[in-house]
Structure 1
Amino acid sequence: MPRNENPEELMYQAAHYELVASARAVVAGHKINPDFKIGCMIALCPIYPFSCKPEDLLFAYKNMERHYYYADVHALGYYPSYVLKQWKRKT
């Protein structure tokens, strides 16, 4: 990776390409047979709070949100608003 590249941006770009490829595979599958049932597989490692302190709960929740959006895009077909807001804040 070139030194001037942002690793987080590259990660999200790669994830976007995977989501587009998955959507295209679903479209192709339905062209072959409209009755096909096509899903996705999401590998997810849960993030548990360190304690019951509110700041630990919020930290775990916010970090899990970063993982949930992949399933949201697969199931809903668009990026959820919380992800778009997060990306907008970073730019």
Structure 2
Amino acid sequence: MSETVTYLIKFCGMFFIILLLIFLLAVITPKLASRIDRLISKIVKPKPERVDDNIYKVKSIYDMPEKAENYEKNNDENGELKDGKE
């Protein structure tokens, strides 16, 4: 094999290894964060008042965002607010 092909194969191999590491970090990080959150919640006593924790949940980059409950009621067919208020 020529030297150019050898360098091309090494470059492509390193490139795919880097992409694989980025993918694994993107998949593992949310799972690791949720385990740490559970561990911290066991150590620190939860507050007696109920707080909406939906905004604080750990989500993966592959999770679809939840659709707002009142989206259709407050927005027209173009997605703009009907009354002009946020």
Higher RCO, 1 or 2 (CA under 8 Å, sep at least 6)? 2
Q: Please classify the TM superposition score into its range, dividing by the shorter chain length.
A: 0.3 to 0.5
**More helix per residue:** 1
TM-score by length of 2: 0.34
TM-score by length of 1: 0.33
